[in-house]
């Protein structure tokens, strides 16, 4: 049996991007929540993501690297069309890194300034990623209507990151900050619900391909399990946060697990909508793939590198598990 290398690399690239969205998504969400916390709480929030946020971005490098070497034709089209939001994302990520380091030594209003810049870098990176996703779904079609669609997607993604970040803080903090995080999680759930509804209504209008893949009844009736599962995960998180808010026993890891489940299910729906295209309605994964001989070499390298990345990620989360402590990096 011959291995379908383009399909294998499409799966590897998708997994890397999903891992980045979930892992870096929660620390971007924590960054966007910084203005809603006190100075002491901000120290705990930064400490909760400090050991992980830099390594989380490794998955972005892996995903973009796999796209470059495995699908060079698509890489040029995608990054060429998304040049400005990619630059904005990189500026946001760099600003986050600088603010993270400088806020540790700053005092007084300087520290407050770096906290705001940390928030702005997080928001800019999240917004740029949402604009890229919205443009990608429509195949980079120009026009004001498509730009509005990308803005709606960007707003939904920002809300999703806030949900992940708030749920992460429930797991990693305690006391007054944890109570705030419970409220932020429920607010993020409402934001995500609105974003999902708007994007779900707008996407079939923006793309005929997506409309045919989802609404060709009764053939696609089984696909309704995805939105139903997403709704179940949403209600589960809402129920758990309600119990925590009232002081009733509930697993602190539950809201974050539920938020991750929502993302995984949404990503699965997106993957189904796009497959087999890597550039919507223009280029399939087989048309964009590099020569099989190149893919075989790259696959060997990926299989060597991936266990190290996964192993380091698991190890770091195990070592730094538990509740975060303020001023960890002072």
pLDDT in tens, 42-86: 888 888 887 887 788 888 888 888 888 888 888 888 888 888 999
| In-domain check, residue 271 | yes
101 Cβ contact partners less than 8 Å away, ≥ 6 residues apart = none
Query: Is pLDDT above 70 for 20?
Result: yes
Q: How many structural domains compose the chain?
A: 1
Length of the chain: 330
Can you give the pLDDT at residue 88?
Answer: 93
Which has the closest alpha carbon to 78: 266, 280, 276?
A: 280
Collapsing DSSP to helix, strand or coil, 63 comes out as helix
Can you give the pLDDT at residue 258?
Answer: 93
Report which secondary-structure segment, H or E, holds 227.
helix 225-245
The range of the structural domain enclosing residue 223 comes to 5-319
pLDDT in tens, 92-144: 989 988 888 787 776 777 788 888 898 999 999 999 999 998 888 888 888 88
pLDDT in tens, 143-193: 888 888 888 888 888 999 999 999 999 989 888 899 999 999 999 998 888
Q: Report the C-alpha gap between 153 and 159 in whole angstroms.
A: 10
| In-domain check, residue 56 | yes
| In-domain check, residue 329 | no
Can you give the pLDDT at residue 1?
Answer: 47
What is the pTM (predicted TM-score) of this model? Answer: 0.90
Running DSSP on this structure, what letter comes out for residue 161?
A: H
- From 176-185, 200-209, 267-276, the region with the lowest mean pLDDT: 200-209
Can you give the pLDDT at residue 129?
Answer: 92
| In-domain check, residue 324 | no
Q: What is the mean pLDDT of the chain?
A: 86
| In-domain check, residue 36 | yes
158, 123 in Cβ contact below 8 A? yes
| In-domain check, residue 330 | no
Can you give the pLDDT at residue 328?
Answer: 58
Q: Kindly tell me the sign of the dihedral angle through the C-alpha atoms of 311, 256, 160, 199.
A: positive
């Amino acid at each position: 049996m011959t291995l379908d290398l383009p399909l294998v690399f499409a799966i590897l690239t998708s997994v890397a991007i999903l891992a980045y969205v979930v892992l870096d998504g929660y620390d971007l969400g924590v960054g966007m929540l910084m203005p809603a916390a006190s100075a002491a709480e901000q120290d705990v929030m930064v400490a909760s993501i400090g050991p992980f946020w830099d390594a989380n971005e490794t998955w972005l490098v892996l995903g973009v690297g796999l796209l470059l070497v495995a699908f060079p034709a698509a890489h040029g089209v995608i990054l060429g069309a998304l040049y400005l939001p990619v630059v904005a994302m990189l500026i946001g990520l760099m600003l986050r890194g600088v603010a993270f380091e400088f806020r540790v030594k700053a005092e007084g209003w300087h520290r407050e300034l770096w906290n705001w810049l940390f928030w702005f870098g997080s928001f800019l990176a999240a917004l740029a990623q949402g604009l890229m996703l919205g443009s990608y779904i429509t195949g980079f079609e120009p026009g004001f209507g498509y730009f509005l669609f990308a803005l709606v997607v960007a707003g939904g993604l920002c809300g999703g990151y806030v949900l992940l970040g708030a749920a992460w803080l429930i797991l990693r903090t305690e006391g007054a900050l944890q109570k705030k995080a419970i409220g932020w999680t429920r607010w993020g759930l409402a934001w995500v619900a609105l974003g999902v509804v708007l994007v779900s209504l707008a996407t079939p209008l923006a793309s005929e391909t997506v409309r045919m893949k989802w609404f060709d009844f009764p053939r696609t009736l089984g696909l309704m399990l995805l939105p139903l599962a997403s709704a179940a995960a949403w209600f589960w998180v809402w129920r758990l946060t309600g119990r925590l808010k009232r002081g009733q026993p509930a697993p602190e890891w539950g809201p974050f697990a539920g938020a991750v489940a929502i993302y995984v299910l949404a990503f699965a729906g997106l993957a189904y909508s796009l497959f087999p295209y890597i550039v919507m309605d223009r280029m399939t994964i087989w048309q964009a793939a590099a020569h099989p001989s190149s893919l075989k070499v790259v696959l060997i390298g990926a299989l060597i590198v991936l266990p190290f990345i996964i192993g380091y990620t698991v190890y770091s989360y195990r070592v730094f598990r538990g509740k975060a402590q303020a001023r960890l990096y002072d």
